[in-house]
Amino acid sequence: MDQTHIDALRSLPVAPCRHLIEGQNVPASDGGVMDVVSPIDGRVLTQIARGTSADMERAIASARSSFDDGRWAGQPPGARKKVLLKWADLIEANALELAVLGVRDNGTEIAMALKAEPGSAAGTIRYYAEALDKIYGEIAPTAEGTLGLIHKEPVGVVGAIIPWNFPMMIGAWKLGPALAMGNSVVLKPAETASLSLMRMVELAHEAGLPEGVLNAVTGEGAVVGAALGKSMDVDVLVFTGSGATGRRLMEYSAQSNMKRVYLELGGKSPNIIFADAPNLDEAAKVAAASIFRNAGQVCVAGSRLLVEDAIHHDFVAAVVKAAEAMQVGDPLDVRTTIGAVNSETQLAANLGYVATAQKEGGAVVTGGTQILQETGGYYMAPTVVTDVTADATLTQKEVFGPVLGVSAFKDEAEAIRLANGTVYGLAGGVWTSNLGRAHRMVKSVRTGVMHVNTYGGADGTVPLGGVGQSGNGHDKSLHAIEKYINLKTAWIKL
Ligand code: NAD
């Protein structure tokens, strides 16, 4: 990574961002805009269109007619593959520009943004492009004189609603399989992280995606997101974001056309450290990184640290040391390991959670405060709170910030009980040299992903999805494709 190149890109003016409907950049129908405030310095970076429900209806109508006339779904698989591969190439060719734009918008540290955003988005789109002509229907083993065919068809119009952490990566998790299977899509990026994803949508058109197949509308969730959720003409809704919004989307579906709704929601993921972990120093560094990178704004963050009594004191000291060694600050400095909190609102919420934790008996052993106020940006010191009880707010609620709650346990049974003691079930980790225990913990902790002697870092070949109130359905891997197809049976008398 070249700091000089990053510094040149960071000072470029950012053009106001408009919707992309039917291949055209268009303003909001009433001319409305929203300021984009950079979390790096709290200054206005540019504006995005403040979409109206009429804008969203226009985007949905465009997607519907593009699906119905077969301009994308009707193309031979090889032709669709070519466009998607070219799109992935263009994302890679523009990776630094996209990453810097995204960081100016959402505050993720650049080293992580480069890898996890354009890098991972291009890889995801390529993965589904390569897969699309290897997915076949089936012939059922029916009785003589009959033929049962099972077709795999695109669903139609997919609505995709994206959060502000990792917009390109998470956007690609939805767009890659949806477009590969021949669907048309209407995308709604998050208010505080639209810019890089909208640029990525433009690149899809440069790669040859036909107009109307991918429309994107910016603006407020409660307006344009709700219009997408309530539409009678959207067949599937895929969402990553908070549980509160996920709940609304299910209601919108019930109130409208009962569209399928797939939710990737939050978590309160337990990272469980046994005294027999193979390398406790490594475990402490990974535990700190897993909650503090991207200022804790990672859905699978190991936000609850459960530590066996025998090593609790020394292990917490090692995590605190690792946290204090991390570099908080300007996310566009390649040395930074903890960037900015996404918004002033989110920072206030994080600090509120720390105050509540203290009121409930938690002890802040490092951090707990806003720092670098002189920058005008939103930065928070990595925070470790010990003595967190099973029913404390810090155990039960997702902070989505750089705040780690620590609890002690005495044996495997207590570790499992604590790990499973929330409404969530997204991810978790276990550190032990005992193979039997590792397998028992993987089976017993109710999550979609368990890490063993590591945390995070899973690649695109494995699914990501939650259980409980962390959601349903999966992103990544070939399993994600199920969300974007219908099975149709043809029963034929021979
Ligand atoms: P959010 O729910 O506030 O917003 C997500 C998206 O929903 C945004 O685009 C927003 O505009 C839209 N939205 C808001 N209200 C809406 C409404 N009434 N109708 C339709 N759309 C609406 O979430 P966020 O704060 O952007 O993201 C953080 C959350 O996302 C955290 O809970 C985090 O854990 C979760 N997350 C989960 C995963 C995963 O894979 N499970 C990945 C990343 C983030």
The pLDDT of residue 468 is above 90: yes
pLDDT of res. 364 = 98
Q: How far apart are CA 111 and CA 81, in angstroms?
A: 30
The 8-class DSSP code of residue 11 comes to: T
Q: How far apart are CA 216 and CA 17, in angstroms?
A: 11
Mean pLDDT of 123-136: 98
The pLDDT of residue 1 is above 80: no
Who contacts 474 (Cβ-Cβ below 8 Å, separation ≥6)?
A: 448, 463, 464, 465, 480, 482, 483
> What is the 458 CA–ligand 1 centroid distance (Å)?
22
Ligand 1 atom nearest to 475, measured from its CA: 40
Angle between helices 412-419 and 435-444 (to 10 degrees): 30
| β 184-188/370-371 pair status | unpaired
pLDDT of res. 399 = 98
Check if 265 has its Cβ closer than 6 Å to any atom of ligand 1: yes
Picking from 90, 121, 230, 105, the residue whose alpha carbon sits closest to that of residue 165 is: 105
Mean pLDDT of 144-150: 98
pLDDT of res. 235 = 98
The percent of residues in the chain predicted with pLDDT above 90, rounded, is: 99
Mean pLDDT of 85-106: 98
Q: How far apart are CA 108 and CA 322, in angstroms?
A: 19
Check if 342 has its Cβ closer than 6 Å to any atom of ligand 1: no
pLDDT confidence band for 61 (50 / 70 / 90): very high
On whether the CB atoms of residues 131 and 478 are closer than 8 A, the answer is yes
Two tokens at 425?
């079930």
Residue 370: CA count within 13 A, CB half-sphere: 17
> What is the 221 CA–ligand 1 centroid distance (Å)?
9
Q: How far apart are CA 19 and CA 218, in angstroms?
A: 6
Angle at alpha carbon of residue 194, lines to 25 and 160, rounded to 5°:
90
* 435-455 pLDDT, tens digit each: 999 999 999 999 999 999 999
| Phi/psi-derived region of residue 204, left when phi > 0, alpha when psi is between -120 and 50, beta in every other case | alpha
SS3 annotation, 389-415: CCCCHHHHCCCCCCEEEEEEECCHHHH
- pTM over 0.85? The answer is yes
* 391-414 pLDDT, tens digit each: 999 999 999 999 999 999 999 999
Backbone angles phi, psi at 140, to 5 degrees: -80, 150
Strand partners, 489: 150
Residues with a known catalytic role = 264, 299
* 297-317 pLDDT, tens digit each: 999 999 999 999 999 999 999
* 364-384 pLDDT, tens digit each: 999 999 999 999 999 999 999
Which of 36, 231, 242 gets mutated to test ligand 1 (max ligand atoms within 8 A of its CB)? 242
* 183-230 pLDDT, tens digit each: 999 999 999 999 999 999 999 999 999 999 999 999 999 999 999 999
On whether the CB atoms of residues 492 and 486 are closer than 8 A, the answer is no
| Beta strand spans in 121-196 (E) | 138-140, 146-154, 157-161, 184-188
Domains assigned to the chain: 3-265 (3.40.605.10), 270-458 (3.40.309.10)
Check if 188 has its Cβ closer than 6 Å to any atom of ligand 1: yes
Coil, helix or strand for 183?
A: coil
* C-alpha distance from residue 305 to each of 8, 199, 280, 284 (Å): 40, 38, 13, 10
Check if 118 has its Cβ closer than 6 Å to any atom of ligand 1: no
Q: How far apart are CA 469 and CA 338, in angstroms?
A: 28
Who contacts 79 (Cβ-Cβ below 8 Å, separation ≥6)?
A: none
Ligand 1 atom nearest to 470, measured from its CA: 41
Two tokens at 416?
């499992």
Mean pLDDT of 471-486: 98
Strand partners, 214: 185
Ligand 1 atom nearest to 164, measured from its CA: 26
Backbone angles phi, psi at 62, to 5 degrees: -65, -45
